[in-house]
Structure 1
Amino acid sequence: MMPFAYSKPADIEAAVRLAGPDARFIAGGTNLLDLMKENVAQPRRLIDITGLPLREVSETAAGGLLVGALVGNAELARHPRIEADYPLLSQAILAGASPQLRNMASSGGNLLQRTRCPYFYDTGTPCNKREPGSGCSARTGLNRNHAIFGASEHCVATHPSDMCVALAALAATVHVQGRQGTRQIAFADFHRLPGNEPERDNCLSDDELITGIELPAPRFAEHVHYLKVRDRASYAFALVSVAAALTLDGDRIGELRLALGGVAHKPWRQPDLEARFQGQPATADTYAEIARVMMSGAQPLAHNAFKVTLAHNAIIRALGTAQQRQSGATS
């Protein structure tokens, strides 16, 4: 680990003034410190934001919630309003990491997790995400855990967060502040596909700080389910995960939300597909057709073709479970 300067600003404006390409904001540090220990990240300055006033969960004028960036994952998952009105988010958070990590991790930091691709962490192997232009070892190496959607010749890494898959399905908004002022970013636009710049995980500028995550007014408080499929039941990242949310109009689908994790460089959602199945019968046959259409564009690699079938079956199961689930269930 290389030497670095440390600052703990008293307000948001001071924090963003210190920011830049060689600096990193730090809160819980559950991912950044690992990256620094492995010399994958080598910031010259750490900006400790734990003293900033970003720990509140407050109601918005539109009837939703604004979650401060420093609200802990464990606290958020068990917040009464989240459990009651956004159970999909609670389920996703509780499916991620371990209790100890959830106690440390911040909501804003969860959005900034970097891939767990082993080649990214191994500084002895080429990786375009770690060192642009060096190559992608996963393309010709072991790629069992890698992307089947949205990859490029430069990177096939996947995004690791569970929380973000639920936020994608719920169409959250990310609030940020930088030296040029504040802005709000639709969650679908926050994370990037790798393209020709796999080193960029999101659309933030170097000086921008996540200040909060806005949840829209609750519409999916009953028929929701987060399904995570992994190699072991204990702490492990998803091979495939599904965030499913439904409203029902009698025996038909009123509104559908569906997002996948573990399959792309960002949470994978297809709003056009969701709209296509509005009004269709809420049956296993419909769910199978939804899964077929959603997986039709998959492009598996040498070792992860099993993810196509796995995700197909997980979608059917998640939608069927969501249909049967009752309000307030978070397990």
Structure 2
Amino acid sequence: MNCSDADDPTDNAPTNHEDGTSPESGNAARIGSELPITQKKREADDWALVLMSEGIASTILRITPVGGDIRRPHRGRVTFTVTVAPEFQERARGILDAWRIERAERALRIALPIPRGATTLETAMAYAFALTLLAFHLGLKSSGRWEPLIDLGRSQAVLVLEGQWWRLVTALSLHADIPHVLGNTLFGGFFLAAVAGRVGIGFALLGFLVSGTLGNLANALYYGSAHSSIGASTGVFGLVGILAGLAAWRRHHLHSTGRGAWVAFAAGLGIVAMLGSGGPRVDFTAHLFGLAAGGLAGVLVAIPLASRPEPGRIGQGIAMFLTLTCFVGAWHFARTA
């Protein structure tokens, strides 16, 4: 044969070892290739301690290459490994592999955001926002302005696609009747508080707005006709999606298989099926799109939260201000356009 390991001159380059052995001396060459190799002496010390705790004697080996092989990343630089007696090598490899996996998982658990739960103030603010939806509906009904504002603010697919983007936002604050608004007030406050316990109340409100708006947009694109919808439920199920996205990202990184992530999204779909699919006037597709938009937002939020602390009061205040400004601005456009 023209190519073989035996004919590779770089594999025969001499290597100096701390204990005086050479690559041709059997055990050292075999052990160095089968047990872990590291460029950090401290890590090799840890391996030796782990093996000692399991009753296996080992020696730290310093490998100083003389030649180099670009196909092998550790060639050409000083590395460290541990040597054990041949009869303990299989067991030592299993012990070190298990220890390294456990250490990596422990480090990841520390990095992942741990749900802290909403504070009393965040819970109160979540339900205050939800009750505002109820108060807004009752105020429109009592003043006789409900029907005119429904015409101005509902998310009608044709008009949205013609450029009346503000309807994507204003529709979130309108409701058809008392049962409709009461359901969104109750469940909206609950899920808003749940999201606030993970990202803060300001970003929870912003998540409601963004996922609800994107859900309405996707719904308009899906129908592309005279279909119209109103209600905060698209944003409420967006909050469910955010919770599912946060949980899915966390479960995916804490489990060796990908099934953990799908469990969270399956739970979100179950909630939509139970709460958002009954009745002839229920816009089920809007709920699904809200869930999907929220799920994407949840995953995107989880990534920076893994390496940065939760935004503080200033960040939460800015997010809350943006949310309220978008609602007020959308209604301004609806009334003046």
- Greater fraction of residues in helix: 2
Q: Which has the larger radius of gyration?
A: 2
The verdict on a shared fold, with TM-score over 0.5 as the criterion, is no
Per the normalisation by structure 1, the TM-score is 0.29
Per the normalisation by structure 2, the TM-score is 0.28
